Structure 1
Amino acid sequence: MTVDSAGELAEQLWSAYNAHSETAAARLYSAEGRHRDVAVNRERVGPADIEHGLVGLFTAIPDAHWTCTRLVVGGGAAVLAYELTGHLRTRLGPFEPADQPVRLEGVLVVETDAGRISRTTDYWDSGTLHRQLATTTAP
């Protein structure tokens, strides 16, 4: 499956996120596709690794919902401003679940090549997330 527009790919990625379909999201990436979370300095390489990362996120925040607040498309890329909301229900890194609410704004840059996602870069504020989840932190 290939898609003609970076905007279409970004919208399909967003839909897969909100459907909590890590498989559908991962299928949008090229074989060498990469996803980088700038706030935690982590990069996932290849659809299987990207899918694995999403499984962890969807498990920790099973009611995660992304709202796209702005989409800008051009030059083979899409830039999405978003708001993520949900509640922490299982451990996420050092954070123990206490049903803490999550409200996190960010920007996702989606780069495309030959009808696939070649790279996504996610920019969000780890300090904001820490303040929201620090209700209960593991030693």
Structure 2
Amino acid sequence: MKLHGVADVLYGAYNRHDTAAVAELYDGNGTHEDIAMGHPKVGRAAIAHGLQKFFGWFPDAHWVPHVQIVDPFGSVTITYLLTATLQAQMDRTIARGQRISLRGAHVLHVRGRLIHSSEDYWDAATFQKQLNA
């Protein structure tokens, strides 16, 4: 996978809610960490499972990538806007159709043709504020 194309492929799979396609973009021991949560997902199955849970809560989730910065040594950073509506109870948060609009940034570390690791940076306080509104 070319570094310039990884964001298009990843966000295409995200927006189709194709968890298997997302998982296949990672190497077998790949990791994904939502930095705000602090619990990395290790391996394709764990990455897919985490996304399946997220799509269960937010079945209309949609990412719009904005700025993309490519490091020729194997990293891509993408800023994005995520919009979604909470449509199922998420832990203790009751779904009341809360809309979220959350800016974030992914940092993807690519080795060969696959993502070796990714970090997702977003503001947990903004997320909670929108869920509790």
| Aligned counterpart, 1:45 | 42
Distance 1:6 1:42 in 2: 26
The answer to whether the Cα contact below 8 Å between 1:77 and 1:109 also exists between their aligned partners in 2 is: yes
Unaligned stretches of 5+ residues in structure 1 = none
1:92 aligns with 2:75: no
The answer to whether the Cα contact below 8 Å between 1:7 and 1:77 also exists between their aligned partners in 2 is: no
- TM-score normalised over the length of structure 2: 0.95
Q: Deviations over 1:16-69 (max 9, x none)?
A: 001110110000000010000110111100000000000011111011000011
Secondary structure, aligned partner of 1:26: helix
**Given residue 90 of structure 2, which amino acid in structure 1 is its aligned partner?**
L
1:110 aligns with 2:94: no
Distance 2:60 2:9 in 1: 19
1:31 aligns with 2:39: no
1:11 aligns with 2:8: yes
Secondary structure, aligned partner of 1:33: strand
| Aligned counterpart, 1:131 | 129
1:120 aligns with 2:118: yes
Distance 1:11 1:35 in 2: 17
The answer to whether the Cα contact below 8 Å between 1:6 and 1:110 also exists between their aligned partners in 2 is: no
Unaligned stretches of 5+ residues in structure 2 = none
Distance 1:92 1:84 in 2: 17
The answer to whether the Cα contact below 8 Å between 1:35 and 1:44 also exists between their aligned partners in 2 is: yes
Query: In the TM superposition, what is the alpha-carbon distance from 1:95 to its structure 2 partner?
Result: 1.5
Secondary structure, aligned partner of 2:13: helix
Secondary structure, aligned partner of 1:72: strand
**Given residue 104 of structure 2, which amino acid in structure 1 is its aligned partner?**
G
- TM-score normalised over the length of structure 1: 0.91
Instruction: Tell me the C-alpha RMSD between the 2 structures.
Output: 0.9
Number of corresponding residues: 132
**Given residue 26 of structure 2, which amino acid in structure 1 is its aligned partner?**
Y
Distance 1:93 1:110 in 2: 28
